[in-house]
Structures are given as C-alpha cells and as structure tokens.
Amino acid sequence: MAVAHGLDSSRQLPLPEWLFAWAAAVVLVVSFVGLSLLWHRPRLADLAVGRSIAVSLPLRASGRTLLGALGLLIYGMALWAGLTGTSNPQGNLVPTLVFVGFWVGIPVLSVLVGDVWRALSPWRTLVDLGAWIARRTVGPHAIPAPLRYPTRLGLWPAAMVLLTFGWLELAAGDRDDPSLLAVLALLYGAAMLIGSGLYGREFLDRADGFARFFALAATLSPLDWRDGRLRVRLPGSGLADVRSSPGFPAVVLTLIGTTTFDGISGGELWTSDGSLGPWLEQRFTGLGMDTTTAATAAATVGLLLCVGLVTALVLLGIAGVRSVDRLRTRDQDLLGRFAPSLVPIALGYAIAHYLSLLAINGQALGSLFSDPRGDGSDLFGTAGWTIDYDVLSPDATWYLQVVALVGGHVAGLVAAHDTALLTFRGARSAVRSQYWMLAVMVAFTSLGLWLLS
C-alpha cells in the first residue's frame, strides 16, 4: 500500500515554502508573547472542567455494549479476511483497515469525539465479557485479585508497542501481507488478554500502546466521556489531566520520531543517489544481506536515528528550561512534567502527515468491508463504491496540513507555558524557561513543513 502521505512534490505549492515557514514561526512567537502578557497563572485545569451533561445509565450501557460488539466484529472480520482472503494488499481489507482506518482514523476520531477506542477495543470488550461471565458462574468473591502492575514498568511496554508498529509500517519488507498482519493482530490480542488476566484492566491502560495513543488524542477533544457524564470543554484543555509516569515521554517521543522518519524516508534526503538510505543499504549489502533485508536494516537504522534526534532536541530544550532555576528543578523530572505539552505536536504531526492518506485511501474501506476477503462478495451492498480522488484539492490539503501542524504546536506552547507556571516561582521565571521550549516548537514546525512539502 504505497501512497504518498504528504503533498505531491510534482506540483507548485500555493505559496512559497519559505513564506509558510516564516508565517508559522511568527504565529508561534505571537502566541508566546500573548501567553506571556495575558496568562499569569495556571488555567488549563480550570478550563478542562467544562460543562457537564448527564448521560442516562441505559443509554451509556447500551452504547458501550454496541460499540464493544462493533469493535469485536471488525476485529473478527479482519482476522477472517487476513487468514483466508486474497494476498493482494489492495483487495484485502486488512492492510487498509490497519494502516488507514485504525492507525490514522481512530486518532482523528478521538480528537473529534473523545476516547472512542476505550469502548471499541475488542480486547477490553473480551476482558469485560470474561469478568461478567466469571461473576455469574463462580461469583465475584471466588475471582482471585489481579497481580500488582510493576510501577517501574509504567508505560514502557506501550512505548515499545508503538515503536514496533512504527517499524512494521516503515521498515518491514512484508508489511502489507494480509496474513502476516492478521497473525500479528491475533498474537497481540492474545498478549493483551493474558496480561489483563494477570494484572487486570490496568494492564490495558499501561501496556496497550494503541490505547495509550488514542487516549492521548482524546485529551485534545472538546468532548470528555467519564463516569456516565459528558463534559464539553475547551479543545486541548484535557492535557491538564495527563499525568506523566515511567515511559510516558518515550511514548510521545516515539510518536513524533516515527512520523518524522515516515516523512524523511519518502524524500530526497533518504532516497536520492548518495543520500543516507542508499548508503546504508550498500553497507548492509556488503555484509552479505540480500537487497530486501538490507533495505529493512537501513530503514530500521533511520527510524531509530529519527527517534533519537527528536529525543535529543527535546532534551536540549529541557536542559535550557532547567537552567532557569537549577536549585528549584534539581530533583524534578522536567522531561516527565513537560512531556504532555508534546502531545499536541505528536498529533499535529500525525494528522498533517497522514491527512491525504485518510482522505483518499480511507474511502476504500466502504468497498473493502463488503468484500473483505477479495473474493467478489458484497456483504453490505457497498462493494462497488469507488474512490473520489478529488475529495480534497491539493491546495486544500496543504492548507489543512499547515493548520493541523501549526495548531498542534500552538496548543503545545500553551500547555508548556501552563506547566511552567506550576513549576517555577513567578510568571517571569516561567516565561524565561519557555524561551527554550519556543525554540523547540519553531524547530519542529519548520521540520514538519519541510517534510510535508
């Protein structure tokens, strides 16, 4: 499923690239100045409270049941299609469902309507169903208490899941093989169920990298579903509820790094003669690898380098933040405190980078759900649906990408400023500390625009 995620480089941009880069930098600087002058105390937590709307219990229970059944049905359909259907990635449901509907569509949906994956997750549905059956058969008191999840482990398993999926998407040579994807989905589901059986539902919150990613996307949503109530809040204010834990920064940095490599790997910096990609492939070929294995090894190195470079840039910014008041911040985990402010950047990167993929290839899901195995069936009467390649014009795509990218960075700047006010004594020190984070934001924005164009 080889598709371009960014703007088609064969056409003229609506405005010069340098003008967009300067405009984006100006937006960030103006936002920074506005925050410095108008935002003198932490406000994000207050804005996150929003307006609460009661949701009746029957509606809540039936909606959760229906979404859980839908998620389980789609999961089962994907396994069935991948294991028994055509090996053609374009004709089988699984590759498009995994790389477009799941990996791109769910985060976008989460930003719009909240953490929908918590209800759709087939693994959480199976865990809840198993617990319900156990309570009805052996009684609640006969069910052994789950083991205590290791605190030090934190979100490191989730970070490794996301890095592994990034490797599968961007480096693995057979990533579009429907049967391989189905087997991996089956194994991953089994791992989630076994872990939940040992550690309870907390395991899904900690170790399921996809659930963690989608929940982070939901913090930017104006809608928050919790405890049977719906809260309408300022978009992005949900970041105030995010608490760092071991491995949390790695989750966010992995998301940014993998998206960065996806952009780099499709451009001249990686693919042209004499560039890094071919050079690495030649080195691995010289070690006796075949061309496919060498390409995978080179992409693996590139992916790790991008994650490492993104991490180094953020750590440099955090070192600058610490320099403002070393005595006060000496014993604080500043990377953990400021990591939530990187969440909008990660989502802005992802949405901007994959927007055209979702808009074009996402349409194929309509026909693929009717013919999931590629055998000519028409289960829902939509197998004849075609893709409208003009659904978004190139100019509209570019403008939406820029808005997503710059909007994510502005939201990150707001969250970082609010965190600084909670961390330092006085607004003046907080503003000084954010000179460094502003530099990081401008660097990320310029890199993102360059990758898109």
Average pLDDT of the chain to the nearest whole number: 85
The pLDDT value recorded for residue 6 is 40
With a pLDDT cut of 90, the percent of the chain lying above it is 45
Closest CA to 314 of 347, 349, 341: 341
Q: Model confidence at 444, in pLDDT bands (50, 70, 90)?
A: confident
How much is the average pLDDT of 28-35?
Answer: 78
pTM exceeding the 0.75 threshold for the entire prediction: yes
Q: List the structure tokens of 357.
A: 């993929």
How much is the average pLDDT of 442-447?
Answer: 76
Tell me: pLDDT of 416 over 90.
Answer: no
Cβ pair 315, 252 in contact under 8 A: no
The pLDDT value recorded for residue 12 is 47
| Identity of the residue numbered 118 | R
With a pLDDT cut of 70, the percent of the chain lying above it is 90
The pLDDT value recorded for residue 393 is 82
How much is the average pLDDT of 8-34?
Answer: 63
Q: Which of 11-25, 97-111, 115-129, 394-408 has the lowest mean pLDDT?
A: 11-25
The pLDDT value recorded for residue 21 is 65
Question: Which has more confidence, 254 or 51?
Answer: 254
CA–CA distance, 92 with 82 (Å, rounded to integer): 7
**Residue carrying the six token digits 């839908």:** 70
The pLDDT value recorded for residue 56 is 58
The pLDDT value recorded for residue 45 is 75
Q: What is the pLDDT of residues 70-88, one digit of tens each?
A: 999 999 999 999 999 999 9
CA–CA distance, 83 with 239 (Å, rounded to integer): 40
Q: Which of 123-137, 189-203, 322-336 has the lowest mean pLDDT?
A: 322-336
User: What's the Cα-to-Cα distance from 17 to each of 8, 20, 145, 147, 399, rounded to whole Å?
Assistant: 13, 5, 58, 54, 12
Tell me: pLDDT of 119 over 80.
Answer: yes
The pLDDT value recorded for residue 1 is 47
SS (H, E, C) the chain: CCCCCCCCCCCCCCCCHHHHHHHHHHHHHHHHHHHHHHCCCCCHHHHHHCEEEECCHHHHHHHHHHHHHHHHHHHHHHHHHHHHCCCCCCCCHHHHHHHHHHHHHHHHHHHHHCCCHHHHCHHHHHHHHHHHHHHHHCCHHHCCCCCCCCHHHCCHHHHHHHHHHHHHHHCCCCCCCHHHHHHHHHHHHHHHHHHHHHHCCHHHHHHCHHHHHHHHHHCCCCEEEECCEEEECCCCHHHHHCCCCCCHHHHHHHHHHHHHHHHHHCCHHHHCCCCHHHHHHHHHHHCCCCHHHHHHHHHHHHHHHHHHHHHHHHHHHHHHHHHCCHHHHCCCCHHHHHHHHHHHHHHHHHHHHHHHHHHHHCCHHHHHHHCCCCCCCCCCCCCCCCCCCCCCCHHHHHHHHHHHHHHHHHHHHHHHHHHHHHHCCHHHHHHHHHHHHHHHHHHHHHHHHHHHC
